[in-house]
């Protein structure tokens, strides 16, 4: 049998050492060896039965080889999938590690930023109001270290209970709901509250309340950023009280002075000399000027207190502009300033308070004359136009545009530095060009004009170039 399976053995020479086949080709090699053996048996005499047996063996071995081949192929595929999964797992692990480092870095950055803020109190809470964030500004303002507050106390413990849910029996959850009610409805809330410090002080603070979300976009709590306004609010109250007190105390004697001046100047039984009339005329002008200043102070106090009211009626704005020009004509002529007026011949009617609109126009024209040197010019133009919601002038028929009356007051005066134009409508502010040129004034005219314009639903804009002049544009709604 050995000779049949290995013919080379009958020749007496030792068989060569076989090379181990690759694992994937082993079934094929085995089948080939069996087929060769059967072929040798079939070629010998009397080998029919032996050949049939060998053929059966070949078929069995072939089937076994095919099964083994499929198992090896499946095993190779599984190995490839395993390697791919391992590679994906490694990549995912690396990405997760990078994301973790980024999250940690971001958290450290946010913590550093919050801890760097010392002038504002930053308090973060969970959805129920329990404090989770307490920065150095909160420590300084409220007098408690972070370790005594975080996860131990509620934000409502530092608020005046009467500002939340009045009554000693109010539930803490109800108080916190009252604290964040506006922010929950509108997305944010900024207003004054009273903080209670560890040593019993009461502080007036401006608090911005906003929701805090997690990385998934779900609300995780609330942020409370507070600025101590105690001294500022006290100063504002003192200023308002001072303005109101001084204004009332000055108005009465000034009215008396002006009344007696009128009696002296118009007394036919005791006529004055020209020199006396000149002196008393100067006194009257300055008293009138002081009375106007008192009126401006009172008006400013009314605007700040929200007590400014209008008496609306149909007003011909063209007549108001002509009146302002007439009032300023003498002063402009005395200073050598050309004064020009361009208004529609048939007028331009708006709905408003004639007295207040006249006051606004007078302020703009008198300002233009004051800030224009001799030889310059002031031009008043009134016309109808169209504005969009942003206040820009647009063509008629533009979608969303509204009809407006446009009054522009242009001068060729000293102008206003670009960096100061945003503060022009602040009470008592005076531009550096006004101070350098010693232009008289207290800085209330534009504040009053802005308030009057806003109360009429209009806008007041300014364009100016230092040394080349200024143009104010007052826009009031038509119809």
Over its length of 479 residues, how does the chain's per-residue pLDDT go in tens digits? Answer: 333 334 333 344 444 444 444 444 555 555 555 556 555 555 555 555 555 566 666 677 777 878 888 888 888 888 888 888 888 888 887 778 877 777 676 666 766 666 677 788 999 999 999 999 999 999 999 999 999 999 999 999 999 988 887 654 567 888 899 999 999 999 999 999 999 999 999 999 999 999 988 777 788 899 999 999 998 888 877 777 777 777 777 888 888 888 888 888 888 888 888 888 888 888 888 888 888 888 887 787 777 777 778 888 999 999 999 999 998 998 899 999 999 999 998 999 999 999 999 999 999 999 999 999 999 999 999 999 998 877 788 888 788 889 999 999 999 999 999 888 888 888 778 888 888 877 777 778 898 899 999 999 999 999 999 989 999 999 999 86
* Inter-residue contact 161 to 215 (CB < 8 Å): no
pLDDT at 24: 47
Distances in whole angstroms, Cα of residue 472 to Cα of each of 329, 360, 384, 411, 422: 19, 11, 16, 9, 13
How many Å apart are CA 286 and CA 294, to the nearest integer? Answer: 12
Please give the C-alpha separations between residue 432 and each of 319, 367, 419, in angstroms, as whole numbers: 34, 15, 10
Helix (H, G, I), strand (E, B) or coil at 103: helix
Helix (H) or strand (E) holding 402: strand 402-411
Q: What is the CATH number of domain 313-477?
A: 3.30.565.10
Report the pLDDT value the prediction gives residue 17, as an integer from 0 to 100: 44
pTM: 0.54
Name the residue with tokens 């911005």: 208
How many Cα atoms are found within 13 Å in the side-chain-facing hemisphere of 284? 15
Give the CATH class of 117-228. alpha beta
Task: Please give the Cα distance from 16 to 19 (Å, whole number).
Answer: 9
Whole-angstrom Cα distance, residue 436 to residue 431? 9
Q: d(Cα 224, Cα 142) in Å, to the nearest integer?
A: 13
Distance of alpha carbon 169 from alpha carbon 160, whole angstroms: 14
CA distances to 165, 241, 270, 302, 322 from 298, in Å: 37, 11, 37, 6, 27
pLDDT of residue 111: 66
pLDDT of residue 374: 92
Q: What is the pLDDT of residue 5?
A: 35
Strand partners, 107: none
Burial class (CB in 10 A: 0-12, 13-18, 19+), 193: buried
Tell me the residue length of the chain. Answer: 479
């Amino acid at each position: 049998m050995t000779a049949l399976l290995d013919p080379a053995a009958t020749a007496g020479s030792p068989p060569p050492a076989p090379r181990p086949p690759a694992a994937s080709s082993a079934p094929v090699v085995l089948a080939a060896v069996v087929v060769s053996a059967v072929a040798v048996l079939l070629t010998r005499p009397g080998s029919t039965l032996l050949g049939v047996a060998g053929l059966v063996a070949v078929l069995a071995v072939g089937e076994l080889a095919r099964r083994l081949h499929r198992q090896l192929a499946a095993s190779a595929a599984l190995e490839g999938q395993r390697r791919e999964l391992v590679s994906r797992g490694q990549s995912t692990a690396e990405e997760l590690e990078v994301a973790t480092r980024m999250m940690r870095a971001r958290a450290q950055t946010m913590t550093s930023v919050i801890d760097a803020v010392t002038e504002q109190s930053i308090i973060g809470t969970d959805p129920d109001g329990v404090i989770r964030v307490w920065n150095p500004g909160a420590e300084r303002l409220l007098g408690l270290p972070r370790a005594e507050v975080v996860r131990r106390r509620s934000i409502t413990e530092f608020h005046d209970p009467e500002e939340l849910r009045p009554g000693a029996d109010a539930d803490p959850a109800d108080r916190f709901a009252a604290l964040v009610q506006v922010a929950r409805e509108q997305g944010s809330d900024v207003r004054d509250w009273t903080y209670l410090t560890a040593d019993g002080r009461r502080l007036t603070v401006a608090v911005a309340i906003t929701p805090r979300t997690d990385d998934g976009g779900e609300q995780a709590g609330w942020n409370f950023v507070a600025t101590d306004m105690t001294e500022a609010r006290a100063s504002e109250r003192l200023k308002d009280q001072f303005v109101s007190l001084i204004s009332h105390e000055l108005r009465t004697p000034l009215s008396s002075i002006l009344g007696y001046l009128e009696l002296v100047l118009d007394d036919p039984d005791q006529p004055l000399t020209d020199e006396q009339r000149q002196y008393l005329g100067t006194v009257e002008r300055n008293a009138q000027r002081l009375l106007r200043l008192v009126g401006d102070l009172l008006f400013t106090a009314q605007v700040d207190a929200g007590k400014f009211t209008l008496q609306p009626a149909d007003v011909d704005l063209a007549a108001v502009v002509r009146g302002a020009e007439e009032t300023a004509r003498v002063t402009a002529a005395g200073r050598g300033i050309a004064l020009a007026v361009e208004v529609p011949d048939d007028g331009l009617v708006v709905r408003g308070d004639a007295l207040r609109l006249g006051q606004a126009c007078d302020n703009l024209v008198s300002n233009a004359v004051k800030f224009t040197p001799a030889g310059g010019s002031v031009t008043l133009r009134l016309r109808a136009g169209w504005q969009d919601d942003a206040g820009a002038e647009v063509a008629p028929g533009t979608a969303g545009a509204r009809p407006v009356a446009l009054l522009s007051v242009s001068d060729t005066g000293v102008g206003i530095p670009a960096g100061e134009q945003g503060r022009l409508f602040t009470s008592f502010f005076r531009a550096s060009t006004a101070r350098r040129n010693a232009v008289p004034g207290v800085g209330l005219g534009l504040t009053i004009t802005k308030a009057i314009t806003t109360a009429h639903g209009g806008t007041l804009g300014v364009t100016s170039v230092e040394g080349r002049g200024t143009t104010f544009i007052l826009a009031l709604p038509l119809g």
